[in-house]
Each structure stands twice: as C-alpha cells, then as structure tokens.
Amino acid sequence: MKMQPQRLTESAASTLRGLSQEEAAARRAKGLGNTMPVKSSRSYAQIVRENVFNPINDLLYVLGIALVALGRVSDALVSVGVVLLNVAVSVIQEVRAKRVLDQIALLTRPRTTVIRAGQEQSVDPGDIVKGDVLLVRPGDQIVVDGPVLSTERVDVDESLLTGESDLIEKRPGDQLYSGSFCVNGSAFYQAEKVGAQSVAYGLAAGARAFRRVYTPLQREINLVIRVILLVAVFLEFLMVLSALTNTITFVEFVQRSVVIVGIVPIGLILAIAVAYTLGAVRIVRKGALVQQANAIESLSNVDMLCMDKTGTLTTNDLELIAVYPLHGKDEAELRRLLGDFVASGSVGNVTSKAIGASCPGQQRRVKEEIPFSSAHKWSGLAIDDEAMRGSYILGAVEMLQPALSAEEIEQLQPQVEEESEKGLRVLLFAYSPELVALRDDDDRPKLPDGLVALGLVILRDQLRPEARKTLQQFTEAGIHFKVISGDSSQTVAALAKQVGLSDSAGVISGLELAKMGPAEFAQVAEETTIFGRITPQQKEQLLQALRDRGHYVAMIGDGVNDVLSLKKANLGIAMQSGSQATRNAADIVLLKDSFASLPPAFREGQRIRNGMQDILMLFLTRVLAFAILIIEILVIGEFPFVPTQVSILTFLAVGAPALVLAAWAYPGIMEEKRKQQAL
C-alpha cells in the first residue's frame, strides 16, 4: 500500500504536481541538477598510478636509468622489466574487478520517489533537479536538502550527519537534510539545495567517498615492511661506506643498490589490495556485494553473528492466518473493521499489506494518525466517520496491555501464549469509542485509556528455506549466533526452534533487559541466544556489550530500525530488499536477499586472509635469507648477486609462488580446522 500524505499547506498545494519533464530537463541543462561527483571506488587513473608509482618502484626506476647510463642495459631491462610485469598483472586484475563491482553497485543504487506532472516516479538521485517535489517514506534516504511541504509530521534520524541517535521531528517548513533518513511518518518535501550546494554534502560525500581503510592484516604488513626497510637502509649504509673507501667501484655500488632495494617487499601492499578486490568479485558472484574494502578481512574474523528475525530468518512477507473476535463481535464485522483501518492509514507496511489482502476495506475520514514505530510497536487512527467512529489501535499485545482492564488481559493471555508458542505473530486490535487524542502534551504517541479489545490478529512469517542449513553451517564452524527481534520472545523462540536452535537456548525480553544494570546486562548479552521485544537502542547496546567482551560481531538486518546496530557492529550486513538507509550503512549487501550466500562469503574471506599470511611468510623467508647471505658475503668481500640474477630469482622464488599461494589458499581459521571443514 502506498503512503500518500494528503493534507498540505496552502502554498504547498499548488506545487504538489511537481515539475514537468520539460521543466526538469531545462533546469538540468542550466546546471541545477543533483550532480554527485563522488565516486564509490578508485578511478582507472588511480589504479594505474598507485600500482606503477610507489617509493620503492620509483627508486628502482632511478637506479635502472643509472644502470643504462653506465652501459649496463641488460641489468636495467631485467630489473625494471620484472617490476613492470608485476604492475601489469596487478592493474589488469584490478581493472577487471572494478568493472564487475561497479556494474553490480549500479544495479543496487538506491532510488528515490519524485513527483513529476502529478505522478509518482522512481528515479536515480542524480536525476533530481532544484524545485522537484519528492516523497519520503519510512526507511527512505533523504537525498537532497529542502523544506517539508505536507502538514503531516515526520520523524527522521540524522545520526549519519550529527552522530546523535535521537529522532528529530520535522513539521511543515522544517528542513530535511541529505544523509538523514525517514523513520516514522511520510512527507512531501521540495528540493531546495542539490548536489554540492546541499548543507550536508561535504559530510555525506566524505562518508561515501572511496577511502583506503587499513585492516589489521594490512597494518601487520606495513610493520613488516618498515622493519625490512630498516634492514635495507643498514645494508645500503654499508655499501656507501665501501664506495667512500674505494673498496667497490661506482658501477658496483649502483648494481648492489638495485639488489638491496629489491629486497623491500613493497609489493605486499599491492598484493593485499588486489587480493581483496578479486575476493570481492568472487564474493559478489556468490551473492554478496562488498561495499567496504575491510569487510573482506572482517568476514574472516567474525565469531558472533547477530540477526533480526524478520527479513533474515524469515522472508519479509506475512500471511494472515486467522482473526479471533472478542466482546461479541462476529468475524465478518471484525474483518470489516480491520479492512477499513488499514485502508484508511497513510502509512503502509508488511503487516497492513497482509491484513489488507484478506480483509478488503474502505477509506474512512481520519482525524489523527500515529504510524507504526519499532519504538512503541503500535499504530493508531482517530476515525471520525459515520460508519466507523472512535480511536482504533493495532499493535503488540504487551504494549497495549497498560490501556486494558485486568479482566481483558486475563481473558486474552491463554490464547496469546498458545499462538505465540507456535511461532505465530499475535497482534491486538482495540479501540476507544470516543475520539481521543493519540498524543500527549509533548506530542509523543499516547495510548487512549480504557481500550476495548475487538479481536486478535494472527499472522505467520514465512521461514527462508535455506535458513536451517545456513545456521547449521555457522554452528558447526564455531560461529555463535543470536536472534534479536522486536517480536515477542515466545514467537521468536518458536521460530528459532524451527530452524534448529536448541530448546535450551536462553530467552529474554527487552522489558527484562530494561531493568538490568550494566554488569548484568553485559552478562545476559553473552549468555542469552534469543532476545524479544527489543528496541533499536537496546539492539545497539547488545552489540556494544558483545564487542566489549572481545567478540568480533557481525549484524544482519533489513529494516530502518537496524541502522544503529549495523553501524555499531564490526561488520554490518543488509538485505538487498531492505531500506535504503540500511543498505547504505552496511559493509556487505546480500543480493537477492540470499541468506545462503553468507557461508561462501565467510569462507572466501578466510581463504583470502590465509593466502595473504602464507605470502607474507614467503616474503619474510626470502628477505631474511637474502639479508643474511649479503651480510656474510660483505664480510668476505664479494657481493653474491648482480641485478639480473636477483630480479629473476625474486620473480621465480617469490612472485610466481605468491600467485599460486593466493589461488590455492584454503578457508578456515588455521588453529581451528573444523571451521574450514564446516564452511
């Protein structure tokens, strides 16, 4: 069901039709388009430049020129030729990988809804022009700056811009900023500042721009290179002393300098960059798009996998199983009221879609609306219509209980528990006969007092067919997992049991967590497997607690309520069908929502890391052997190599084996062979 804000300010009503296609094209031609020059990956020029030119390569080029000037052309050709051969291989591999990744990234680029000639259109953010009217729904990323037009309030999360996680209420005339995202409500807003003119452009662009983030393995390699560089400097110092004392000629000094410079394994930095890029290509072919370079290594380090239930263990679809009327209502009457309720709301979600598919209804006159939120877990409509009058509420039974009488709670509880234990989602539909305010004096959602229960709504999640096998693979691999959901603990536990989770797994609710101190909270986070009725803030706190206890945590989510926890995790994973904000916050996106693509992706990350560790050992062995041999021969007085010999030896003894090691590397953690076998 599409969300359509209806009430507009007088000045906004005339602009709601938006621009025509001709007007939009004219403004784009004038340079008023939302041009975003920031790239998500390195350009071809950057790839070539960073592979061809680096401190060690540059020094070898200079020494090669010196050899040519001294008449040692063959030495120069071999020394520089091997460098250029390695450069060519690296550039070709990385360019091919870039093409594949850029094509996939283009297909998964978020879209935005714009109003053109009175019609909704889904367009690329780059097609927006100044003056366009846009429609934002829950989970949508706000892509340009501009004022709210409709009178409906909308709650946005500006944490990507400000670092503050509190929701910001926006009303007509308030500014929406690019980089924030809609959490509750819906609104039309007008593009006022686009492209580089937007207030948040600098911050948002910086977040999206390509950044070389050094992973733990890269930092280890940098340390090794620095140590070896010190060894090379010491050897070169000995060469300089020999030249100054006329022990060796200038030609011999240049030849030996080429050999000494060649022992510095600067190619390791390029090797790991290429390995990560090629790994990202292999992973995308298995169904997962890598959005951050360090996600490759993060995959290999994960020991705790946290996931939301909806959209992860289950598909993002619900099916209405049954409705149980209360207080003398018959089922037909209850279905009519439910149908009218969801048809009258401006905010649609999977729950309203499932109810609407089985309970057709008519749109009624709405005086006030409270959209569903993961914070309060209910939605409400104050309906002022002859056929249906009162304040109607649909939400989680536990959240509506404070507004019910003790007798009604006692009457509902047995059936609620029975259905929840089957893994079904149970909602309560209730109302107040009077039109009462659904917000308090601080404009926060407020349940009406004295609600009357109309009936229970029973919905069923569809389990992903691959969920059981996938979780079994993770369990056998020694990777622990936790299910963190906004649904009731009983429902989540029942579904977890269906995917093979042990009956002995600990279960706890968000209401219980809220009463705990920090120490007890951290202990429960470690020991409990299933968490129900968890708020987005609690989900974030759970991940932080796990990280504080030394776990390397991955989080899988799809909804806007998962954004905070995805940012808190060491590795954020989103579903392709998830909200724009969730996909943008994630390090990895599962294409086609394929949960089964995770084990191969984890295995690929482990394979790449293990291959790079083998290559590192190979380089170190070669450098140590060369350094010891050179020092021993210096004592004797004869240098063991000429440039031609060392270049060929380096390629045959290190370059070629390194390529083979990278290709033949195995997955799994070396100390835990069972992870290799399980995944």
Nearest to 75 by CA among 648, 654, 652, 655: 648
Which of 140, 308, 558, 587 is catalytic? The answer is: 308
One-letter identity of residue 440:
D
Give the distance from CA 428 to its chain's centroid: 33
Burial 474-501 (b: 16+ CB within 10 A, else e): beebebbbbbbbbbbbbbbbbbbebbeb
Residue 550 above 80 pLDDT? yes
Q: What pTM, to 2 d.p., does this model score?
A: 0.67
Residue 513 above 90 pLDDT? yes
Q: Where is the domain boundary, 463, 479, 512?
A: 463
Cα–Cα distance between 565 and 537 in angstroms, integer?
8
Q: Are residues 239 and 170 in the same domain?
A: no
Tokens of 581: 């904000």
Average per-residue pLDDT for the chain? 78
CB 381 within 8 A of CB 345: yes
Determine the structural domain holding residue 136 and report its residue range: 10-31+110-208
Average pLDDT over residues 550-565: 85
Q: Are residues 333 and 454 in the same domain?
A: yes
Q: What is the strand order of the sheet 133-136 is part of?
A: 119-123, 112-116, 133-136, 187-190
pLDDT at 670: 42
Tokens of 438: 């659904």
What residue ranges in 345-487 does DSSP mark as E strands?
366-370, 378-385, 388-396, 425-432, 452-463, 480-484
Least confident window among 58-62, 137-141, 317-321, 477-481:
58-62
4 lies in some domain: no
CB 527 within 8 A of CB 502: no
Average pLDDT over residues 588-593: 86
Q: Where is the domain boundary, 597, 631, 649?
A: 597
Q: Are residues 217 and 307 in the same domain?
A: no
Encode pLDDT of 329-388 as tens digits: 789 999 999 999 999 987 777 889 899 999 999 999 999 888 887 778 899 999 998 889
Average pLDDT over residues 91-107: 68
Q: Residue 322 is inside which H or E element, if any?
A: strand 314-325
Is there a catalytic annotation at residue 308?
A: yes
Q: Are residues 133 and 21 in the same domain?
A: yes
Encode pLDDT of 196-254 as tens digits: 777 655 544 444 444 444 566 767 777 777 777 787 778 778 778 877 877 777 777 77
Q: Residue 580: which CATH number?
A: 3.40.50.1000
Q: Are residues 310 and 333 in the same domain?
A: no
249 lies in some domain: yes
Q: Are residues 371 and 284 in the same domain?
A: no
The CB-side HSE value for 359 (13 A sphere, CA atoms) comes to 28
Least confident window among 338-352, 381-395, 412-426, 592-606:
592-606
Q: Are residues 222 and 154 in the same domain?
A: no
Residue 431 above 90 pLDDT? yes
Q: Residue 165: which CATH number?
A: 2.70.150.10
* Main-chain phi, psi angles of 313, to 5 degrees: -70, -30
CB 558 within 8 A of CB 575: yes
Cα–Cα distance between 379 and 370 in angstroms, integer?
5
Q: Are residues 453 and 365 in the same domain?
A: yes
Q: Residue 373: which CATH number?
A: 3.40.1110.10
One-letter identity of residue 119:
Q
36 lies in some domain: no
3 lies in some domain: no
137 lies in some domain: yes
Q: Are residues 489 and 553 in the same domain?
A: yes
368 lies in some domain: yes
Residue 8 above 70 pLDDT? no
Q: Are residues 263 and 300 in the same domain?
A: no
Cα–Cα distance between 546 and 544 in angstroms, integer?
5
Residue 664 above 60 pLDDT? no
Q: Where is the domain boundary, 578, 597, 616?
A: 597
List C-alpha distances in Å: 255 to 65, 68, 229, 329, 426: 12, 11, 18, 96, 80
38 lies in some domain: no
Cα–Cα distance between 121 and 160 in angstroms, integer?
26
Q: Are residues 348 and 410 in the same domain?
A: yes
One-letter identity of residue 433:
P
Encode pLDDT of 447-473 as tens digits: 998 899 999 999 988 888 888 888 888
Q: How does residue 67 score in pLDDT terms, banded at 50, 70 and 90?
A: low
Task: Considering only the C-alpha atoms of the chain, give the largest distance between any 2 of them, rounded to a whole number of Å.
Answer: 110
Q: Domain total for the chain?
A: 4
Q: Are residues 567 and 476 in the same domain?
A: yes
581 lies in some domain: yes
More confident residue, 265 or 223: 223
Residue 439 above 60 pLDDT? yes
Residue 544 above 90 pLDDT? yes
CB 134 within 8 A of CB 144: yes
